[in-house]
Structure 1
């Protein structure tokens, strides 16, 4: 860090931005400086907000998205003009599609140069508008507080998502000559429950149904929503299924009514619960998580949709009753109206078969190759280390399907998954965010060897931050999720193979601890060592994906 000036210069729009960020309760900012935005980083030097320098802008916005997902308040990322801002695109698209509040601030050339062919001139506001809820430019110092406040409001109100603010360099450097107001969180919008008459209508439909099933989506796993949903499930005793992003909503005492997680392919026992149901209660569900046409094959069957915003209608998702408002408050009212319910022997039987199948899958799991581990061997070892206070961050690949289907977690937002854009490279940045928010608790993140290399440069940032994380890499030298789908469709794979990397040596070169394992016992030993180590630990595990075709095959017990 450079020496701070002893005398404070005149206040600029950059200082006003920082004051607004402070007023909104921002604790951390992640970014990479450049000539068009460096005034803002200079202003942050005099702020209690902690500035974290990332090694790639995409990872900076992933980290901001992780903060947003875990706290419900917008994480903030900053980038310089041109390619600095364009590198934010994937992170913003991920945040917006998956409901994570994020504010990004980008530098821009001076207003006189915005339409010229000069270095780093780019219409970033237009470029990012399709992947954000709000994209605007601060055109004058007087508009600073207004634009920042509206960006926060857009990012943090339902459905949450990404926001982008562009600041031309001359505006950022402009001296503030008037006492413009700072707008904090005092105007935050608070939702009430759905209308009482609609809640009564939903309760009546539930009481009439013979085989109702609950489908949980991404918003169900917000902690305040999860508490209310658990109370509803305890009182009604209904079978419940979750999407991948609903992980952790169902508590351990409700596990006997849990039919597992569904997504991507219609071949899980949870799918068969939904097939059998005569009414589905969708709570906090977004169709981007799991296509309605895959799980709702009875177009005439009624659906009750409980959410913060009305559903985007689909031929296969056209709710008969919608309860729109605070999910937590709506569930509390619905629980009072509903009482205990019955769901029928057919659904109970599916739940029994599901639980038995899970146990059987673990019992049979064994690698066919010496020095490699079966996916369920890895997950079985992980289960012994995944305490209630450990957060799991998953990257994208076939390994995330194994985790989503078989790794049990019972705390809301305990397992983070990208299941909207299915973005590769998110696990390590998310894990760094989780460690920032709770430094005393260990975080476990998981990548494939393909997805890890998409964000691996920020392992240096994790070392610098002393992030208390263990990152497990499943190694097979392929983009494996693409591979299994190509083999299913074409009978062969194409353009999915790449070369080997010594990940333990790679990690050590960054200053992290690196461990290569080749057996169940060595994985256990590596995880024990990782749990006792302060700072990042990378564990590389060679994986035998021999049973990957089963991820897409129909279940023989219930195949139709």
Structure 2
């Protein structure tokens, strides 16, 4: 781990793997990873995945055998589906106990194989270095994801006679054939309404920079997926037509539906299935990515270009220099749609007893952050409002779980973001249901002195399920839970706690929260009465 520059290891110890924890805690090497003890293995996996998403390098999670390993499953499937590199290390019973019904003996390798890119169990101490080297390479090879290494207790305590593996350079991808690039450029020049769909891999730092350079010389309208958030910078905002995901009823959906060419860049179908945005598609689709796309009846691109995204976009830009001009008619149509899109962010003015409309919370939060602020978002009704209406202008600064839609990710992700950026204030947004999936990590945040503003939108329901049940069945089931005093909850962990109510308005409470050092929890009552609109049918075709 030292050789590979691993900075943090997240986890919980146990007897089968405690020797490695002892080494991490007491080793005198100043370059050793910092050991971050969490309150649940699942949250440790989330924290490791956030390292992967924010840095592009694998985060490491370390747990003990039995339930320690089993508790990794949700975190690892989230990382693998959403493209976050992770190396998971799990303890195992001694090798001669593997076939016995002994304490905490479970088939580690088999259990985690379906949720990782690769799952191995090391049977010889001399193979440990090889296993880690291959895990690092596998986790960072496209598509990024999680890799698991199971280590029996007698292997971790065994004698190693071989030297460490050398750190090998990353595998670099090339640029697609010049003839393919020329064909893409030609089709863009011929198109009346070309639209870019920017997906999760478009939000990698180099790819985003290259895409922005392309857009400055060839201004094309851009629709982001939720994980593509932030690829459009402030100076390119005129080209931003929102994000698509979950329900097919956004301005971006209208653009994609009417495009005669969709340039899908770094798009992954797990973010937003093609059967949603590509339904009844009349135009052609071109796929630019680092991986070959999954082909379905709804996604059959006319051209597929595979290679390094940044280099591919830079090469394409050279072929498009000053050559594409959008018609005035199309420009006017886009301006009209853009005006309507921007108006959708305006909240109602009326506030009753401190209960806030979702757009009011989004708008007020927007005023308290800048482009450098990292905002992590949990899953729930609030996540839809945030994804549709919150503006972010830097890649991977607005984080969503959009592949698995995993509850509980926001606070663990925020803790990692605070570790990586200790001088910045991090924002975490959750509902009152999802927050308690990982709320115990508030103690971890306090222990690490994390500068986190944790917003909790409170309504007393698993509301993302509730409003969809109401739309489908006219009633609801299994979605209500009891109240929690989140201010007192925060105080019990040693964090600050604030509440928005009829005597404490949202703006002043957020002012106080952002002026507070360390973790602060803000309880905000929210009015979700307009949520049924989130699932409305596709907007009227505004091109006719």
> 1:81 and 1:160 mapped to 2: Cα distance?
25
Equivalent in 31, 38, 41 of residue 11 of structure 2: 31
> 2:48 and 2:135 mapped to 1: Cα distance?
15
- TM-score by length of structure 1 reads 0.93
Equivalent in 63, 72, 78 of residue 94 of structure 1: 78
> 1:438 and 1:283 mapped to 2: Cα distance?
28
> 1:519 and 1:273 mapped to 2: Cα distance?
41
> 2:538 and 2:273 mapped to 1: Cα distance?
19
Q: For each residue in 1:241-268, what CA deviation from the matched residue of structure 2 results, as whole angstroms up to 9, or x when unmatched?
A: 1111100001111111111101111111
Q: 1:12 corresponds to which residue? A: none
**Alpha-carbon spacing, 1:343–1:128, altered in 2? closer, same or farther (3 Å):** farther
Offset at residue 367 of structure 1 (A): 5.3
1:68-467 equivalences in 2 (<5 Å)? 68-176=52-160, 178-184=161-167, 186-298=168-280, 301-340=283-322, 341-344=324-327, 347-349=330-332, 351-366=334-349, 369-467=352-450
> 2:317 and 2:222 mapped to 1: Cα distance?
15
Offset at residue 300 of structure 1 (A): 5.8
- Tell me if structure 2 keeps the 8 A contact 1:59–1:429: yes
Offset at residue 388 of structure 1 (A): 1.4
Offset at residue 523 of structure 1 (A): 2.1
Offset at residue 224 of structure 1 (A): 1.0
Q: For each residue in 1:419-470, what CA deviation from the matched residue of structure 2 results, as whole angstroms up to 9, or x when unmatched?
A: 0001110000000010000100010010000000000011100000001110
1:9-28 equivalences in 2 (<5 Å)? 21-28=1-8
- Tell me if structure 2 keeps the 8 A contact 1:239–1:347: no
> Matched residue of 2:313: which SS?
helix
RMSD (CA atoms): 1.6
> 2:164 and 2:539 mapped to 1: Cα distance?
65
Q: 2:453 corresponds to which residue? A: 470
> Matched residue of 1:453: which SS?
helix
- Tell me if structure 2 keeps the 8 A contact 1:238–1:342: no
> 1:173 and 1:31 mapped to 2: Cα distance?
19
Q: 5+ unaligned residues in a row in structure 2: which ranges?
A: none
Offset at residue 307 of structure 1 (A): 0.4
- Tell me if structure 1 keeps the 8 A contact 2:118–2:147: yes
> 2:417 and 2:502 mapped to 1: Cα distance?
29
- TM-score by length of structure 2 reads 0.96
> Matched residue of 1:23: which SS?
coil
Q: 1:538 corresponds to which residue? A: 521
> 1:485 and 1:285 mapped to 2: Cα distance?
26
> Matched residue of 2:433: which SS?
helix
**Alpha-carbon spacing, 1:414–1:364, altered in 2? closer, same or farther (3 Å):** closer
Matched residues, number: 538
- Tell me if structure 1 keeps the 8 A contact 2:230–2:392: yes
